[in-house]
Amino acid sequence: MQQDVATAMKTSLEQSVIQALRSVLGDGSCVLHEPRFQGNEQAYVQECITSTFVSSVGRYVDRFEQELAAFTGARRAVAVVNGTAALQVALQLAGVQAGDEVIVPTLTFVATANAVHYLGATPHFVDSAEDTLGMDPAALKDWLKHVAEPTAAGSRNRHTGCPIRAIVPMHTFGHPCDLEGLLTIAHDYRLALVEDAAESLGSYYQGQHTGAFGELGALSFNGNKVITTGGGGAILTNDERLADHAKHLTTTAKQPHRWDYVHDEIGYNFRMPNLNAALGCAQFEQLPSFLASKRRLAERYAEAFRGVESVRLMREPKDCRSNYWLQTLLLDEAVADQRDAVLTATNDAGLMTRPAWGLLHQLPPYQQCPRAPLSVAESLARRLINIPSSAGLA
Ligand SMILES: *Cc1c(COP(=O)(O)O)cnc(C)c1O
């Protein structure tokens, strides 16, 4: 009897989480992230149709590229079909070749590793830091001391003999990783740095927008990102020569001519269609309000979860400004075994939540790849929960 009362009085973790979510989101159900089309989307897309410029020529592509460059402070932006293609071409232009290894966090979306694989290179997985959820420079430095040796051209893996060509930090859920530490390592080991900034449009590291700290970076405008073009992506760079080459490569490497088809290297048909760029221009006009809304939502979640034991809301790292793309709860290690109960209860209640991605080194195609000790990422993957994050919820 006494025990029953004690059990009934102790609120379970999943009930506390639902209560906190409801205090912010109210009654009813909520998806994880949905796009919002309340601006000029209809008008701009309609204009493409009316003018017949729906495909690879049209003024919205140029305008979208110019706006992205101005907003991010990158010298140039090249719009492409999706973020994965942006990353693939960025890596190719950074010098990644078949047979190379590329340093990638294991805690990321599969596209980060796929882009490496498409070039015939191999992802080499490294650990993440608890305070940023991104690549951990301290752990990477220790690992490279052990695994890398200098060569005439840069570094190689002393165990596999393969060149280590580049490092691809990713800004997890919009929280910038420790770029300063990673840039130092890239410099010391002569590795190219290419940012996977797919999730971090509107996120800043030490006052500077993410995505162009290294040679090149990649953005995504998939349907679930901060702004969407339906499907789309962009390559960012401060190097005019690389930008021109990116544009050339992603438009079938055709030399400009009034009628001749001369392609001077093997390019890709990766150009963003005007229809998608039109959507992007309309979304871009609303980006400041989306970012403000997401920041408000983070404040309200932080307040709501302040009293919930063993759970903490992920906040922007030191010296960073996050876009708060996906709001994230981090369970204490002691209650990590209750993560699935929280996921079940919240989804049953109509509040969509999700764990982080499965770690890439555990996926069937990537199990044999070289990797560093990954204990922090393994712990984070057991404890992370993404909660409803759409702009407009706050
Ligand atoms: C979304 C995403 C991508 C790929 O973007 P697509 O536009 O879907 O191809 C790459 N990396 C990360 C980390 C992402 O979240």
The structure tokens listed for 370 are: 């070289």
Residue in this structure with the two tokens 């010298």, named with its chain if needed: 75
Q: 296 lies in which domain range? A: 2-35+287-393
Q: How confident is the model at residue 115 (pLDDT cuts 50, 70, 90)?
A: very high
* pLDDT 10s digits, 231-251: 999 999 999 999 999 999 999
Q: How confident is the model at residue 209 (pLDDT cuts 50, 70, 90)?
A: very high
Provide the 8-state DSSP code for 357: P
Within this chain, do residues 21 and 125 fall inside the same structural domain, yes or no? no
Within this chain, do residues 89 and 136 fall inside the same structural domain, yes or no? yes
* pLDDT 10s digits, 304-352: 999 999 999 999 999 999 999 999 999 999 999 999 999 999 999 999 9
Atom 5, ligand 1: which residue's CA is nearest?
Answer: 83
Task: Identify the helix (H) or strand (E) that includes residue 137.
Answer: helix 137-147
The structure tokens listed for 201 are: 């449009």
Q: Which of 256, 284, 312 is the last residue of a domain?
A: 284
Looking at residue 2, what is its pLDDT? 53
CA 214 to chain centroid: 15
Looking at residue 56, what is its pLDDT? 80
CA of 107 to the centre of ligand 1 (A): 13
**Residue 227 near residue 221, CB atoms below 8 Å:** yes
* For residues 269-275, average pLDDT: 97
Provide the 8-state DSSP code for 373: -
* For residues 272-285, average pLDDT: 98
Q: In what order do the strands lie in the sheet with 320-321?
A: 208-209, 204-205, 320-321
Within this chain, do residues 177 and 253 fall inside the same structural domain, yes or no? yes
Looking at residue 1, what is its pLDDT? 47
Within this chain, do residues 362 and 374 fall inside the same structural domain, yes or no? yes
Query: How many other CB atoms sit within 10 Å of the CB of residue 1?
Result: 5
Within this chain, do residues 269 and 298 fall inside the same structural domain, yes or no? no
- The CATH number linked to 297 is 3.90.1150.10
Looking at residue 36, what is its pLDDT? 96
**Residue 217 near residue 211, CB atoms below 8 Å:** yes
Q: Can you tell me the distance from the alpha carbon of 211 to that of 203, in angstroms, rounded to the nearest whole number? A: 9
Within this chain, do residues 61 and 171 fall inside the same structural domain, yes or no? yes
Q: Which of 284, 302, 336 is the last residue of a domain?
A: 284
State if residue 222 touches ligand 1 by the CB under 6 angstroms criterion: yes
Within this chain, do residues 226 and 324 fall inside the same structural domain, yes or no? no
Query: Helix (H, G, I), strand (E, B), or coil: what is residue 218?
Result: strand
DSSP 297-340: HHHHHHHHHTTSTTEEE--PPTTEE----SEEEEE-GGGGGGHH
Helices (H), 166-273: 179-188, 240-249
* For residues 144-164, average pLDDT: 97
Query: Helix (H, G, I), strand (E, B), or coil: what is residue 220?
Result: strand
* Long-range contacts (CB closer than 8 Å, 24 or more residues apart) made by 142-146: 143/372, 143/373, 144/185, 144/189
**pTM flag (> 0.75):** yes
Within this chain, do residues 349 and 292 fall inside the same structural domain, yes or no? yes
Q: How confident is the model at residue 4 (pLDDT cuts 50, 70, 90)?
A: low
The ligand 1 atom at the shortest distance from the C-alpha of residue 87 is: 10
Question: Which residue type occupies 266?
Answer: I
Looking at residue 57, what is its pLDDT? 80
Within this chain, do residues 168 and 201 fall inside the same structural domain, yes or no? yes
* pLDDT 10s digits, 23-67: 999 999 999 999 999 999 999 999 999 999 998 888 999 999 999
Provide the 8-state DSSP code for 359: P
Number of structural domains (the chain) is 2
Q: Can you tell me the distance from the alpha carbon of 107 to that of 127, in angstroms, rounded to the nearest whole number? A: 8
Ligand 1, from 172, 222, 359: best to mutate by most atoms within 8 Å of Cβ? 222
CA separation, residue 318 to residues 7, 8, 45, 179 (Å): 40, 40, 40, 12
**Residue 224 near residue 325, CB atoms below 8 Å:** no
Ligand 1, from 196, 323, 325: best to mutate by most atoms within 8 Å of Cβ? 196
Within this chain, do residues 109 and 209 fall inside the same structural domain, yes or no? yes
State if residue 109 touches ligand 1 by the CB under 6 angstroms criterion: yes
Looking at residue 226, what is its pLDDT? 98
Q: Can you tell me the distance from the alpha carbon of 393 to that of 121, in angstroms, rounded to the nearest whole number? A: 41
The structure tokens listed for 339 are: 């993560």
Q: Pick the residue with more confidence: 56 or 157?
A: 157
Looking at residue 11, what is its pLDDT? 78
State if residue 210 touches ligand 1 by the CB under 6 angstroms criterion: no
Q: Which of 237, 260, 284 is the last residue of a domain?
A: 284
Q: What is the mean pLDDT of the chain?
A: 96
* For residues 144-172, average pLDDT: 97
Q: Can you tell me the distance from the alpha carbon of 20 to that of 347, in angstroms, rounded to the nearest whole number? A: 14
**Residue 67 near residue 236, CB atoms below 8 Å:** no
User: Alpha-carbon torsion 178, 184, 187, 191, what sign?
Assistant: negative
User: Alpha-carbon torsion 143, 147, 151, 154, what sign?
Assistant: negative
Q: Can you tell me the distance from the alpha carbon of 311 to that of 65, in angstroms, rounded to the nearest whole number? A: 40
State if residue 198 touches ligand 1 by the CB under 6 angstroms criterion: yes
Q: How confident is the model at residue 7 (pLDDT cuts 50, 70, 90)?
A: low
* For residues 177-181, average pLDDT: 98
Within this chain, do residues 188 and 59 fall inside the same structural domain, yes or no? yes
**Residue 211 near residue 61, CB atoms below 8 Å:** no
Which segments within the chain are labelled E, that is strand? 76-80, 101-105, 122-126, 148-150, 155-157, 163-167, 192-196, 204-205, 208-209, 216-220, 233-237, 311-313, 320-321, 327-331, 384-387
- The CATH number linked to 197 is 3.40.640.10
Q: How confident is the model at residue 358 (pLDDT cuts 50, 70, 90)?
A: very high
Within this chain, do residues 11 and 83 fall inside the same structural domain, yes or no? no
Kindly tell me if the per-residue pLDDT of 153 is higher than 70: yes
CA of 221 to the centre of ligand 1 (A): 8
Looking at residue 350, what is its pLDDT? 97
State if residue 111 touches ligand 1 by the CB under 6 angstroms criterion: yes
> Active-site residue numbers?
225
